[in-house]
Amino acid sequence: MPAQSQSTPVRALSFAPRPVPLSATLAVNEALARKKRQGVPVLPLGFGEAGIPIHPALTRELEAAAGRGGYGPVAGSAALRAAAAGYWTRRALPTDPSVVVAGPGSKPLLFALLMSLGGDVVVAAPSWVSYAAQTSLAGAEAVRVATPPGEGGVPSPALLADAVVRARARGRTVRTVIVTLPDNPTGTIASEDTVRRLCAVARDLDLVIISDEIYRDLVHDPGHAVPSPAGFAPERTVVTTALSKSLAAGGWRLGVARLPDGPFGRELRDSVLGVASEIWSSAPAPMQHAAAYAFAEPPELAEHIDRSRRLHAAVTGAVADRFAAAGASVTRPEAAFYLYPDFGPLRDVLREGHGIRTSSDLTGLLLERYGMGVLPGSAFGDAPAALRMRVAPSLLYGEDDEQRLAALASPSPAGLPWIAGALDRLTEVLGDLIETADVGEPVPA
């Protein structure tokens, strides 16, 4: 048989791999990079990268640990787990290092949690693109529940119970609800009352809460506290965070999870470590060393984060003003580097002038005609007909580290020429979008 089959002509496989689209946030990043390489001017507002350089003190810590080649413990080094425990303890979430698990980003930690928990997952609508995608890869269903008006990131407690009861009535096993505090994509923070009510419902419904708090240190007003469900339902809440956003080290791939104390938390930890040991072994060792330094929050990093928070507030606010001036409705962002404008008030004009009926019609037109990269609300699980989009202005801070550092240092970064230029281009794009619609030049969507 072997000799014979070697002489038959080579043929392709008869089956197709599972179709899995690229994560929408990463896809828009790559689409814009292609346009840029082609020489097309772009307005990159799609990708959730912090847009600032890594602080040199943090870089030095990575350099100091560059020679660490061993895998180390699956859960992460003792030094990193102790530092992360201290970080949470300083935020009114007393934490023992034994409940901390590190991974190559909070994204893989979230996936391991979903694999360990099993069952379907309630996610907010809208919510970060990967929650629902990971749920599907884990073989489960995402149950989408709308957020309360003006409060992103937390499924409305009033709607949650009904959605879970209905899913269970059709035979589904719902075990988890994911919240984002502060929120991506809306840049808002759910109120303490909403979080308390969510915790009460989760307790009644026997749900684990995963609280993605990766933007916690980027609240624009430092006096505005972030209510964590781990404070109200500690026995069932997992908290995740990472170096990616507040320290702009997304490319380092380092995240941590804080699991519940107690018997359930220990079982969950063992299961997550089992999954981690089979999928990724450990977080990168040199980054673990640097992260231990970062989670100890030395003054130079705290000041750096403080500056980046002011920068995000200033530019995100200026961008929100431009959208509002063009006629969109915008909830003022309170944290992180996102806003979520709603073109509902311009629905008729956009449909009649450009044939736009969905958020992806709108963002597709902005990308193709203007090189403006933003993500449609539908990518976040919003209703396709809702004309909302996520705008991430952080890549406007500079083309190089010199510009980015100047933006960090500036008392009024929105006035820096390269940022002001991008803001004016945004006004121009939005103006042209409305104007060409008004004068009745329909463009196929």
Instruction: Report 18-57 residues binding a copy of itself (CB under 8 A).
Output: 18-23, 26-27, 29-30, 33, 47, 49-50, 53-54, 56
Binding a copy of itself (rule: CB under 8 A), the pick from 68, 310, 332, 369 is: 68
Q: In the bound complex, what is the minimum distance in angstroms from residue 298's beta carbon to a copy of itself?
A: 17
x/- site string to a copy of itself, residues 175 to 214, per CB under 8 A? x--------------------xx-xxx-xx-x-x------
Q: Is 443 in the site for a copy of itself (CB under 8 A)?
A: no
Instruction: Report 227-246 residues binding a copy of itself (CB under 8 A).
Output: 233, 235-236
Looking at beta carbons only, is 61 or 334 nearer to a copy of itself?
A: 61
Binding a copy of itself (rule: CB under 8 A), the pick from 91, 144, 253, 307 is: 253
Looking at beta carbons only, is 53 or 187 nearer to a copy of itself?
A: 53
Binding a copy of itself (rule: CB under 8 A), the pick from 214, 268, 315, 372 is: 268
Instruction: Report 105-134 residues binding a copy of itself (CB under 8 A).
Output: 105, 107-108, 111, 115-119, 130, 133-134
Instruction: Report 70-99 residues binding a copy of itself (CB under 8 A).
Output: 70-74
Could you tell me which residues come within 8 angstroms of residue 112 by beta carbon, excluding any fewer than 6 positions away?
A: 103, 272, 275, 276, 279
The candidate with the shortest Cα–Cα distance to 222, out of 83, 335, 353, is 335
Q: In the bound complex, what is the minimum distance in angstroms from residue 415's beta carbon to a copy of itself?
A: 26
Q: In the bound complex, what is the minimum distance in angstroms from residue 96's beta carbon to a copy of itself?
A: 18
x/- site string to a copy of itself, residues 277 to 296, per CB under 8 A? xxxxxxxxxxx---------
User: Strand pairing of 389-390 and 375-376?
Assistant: antiparallel
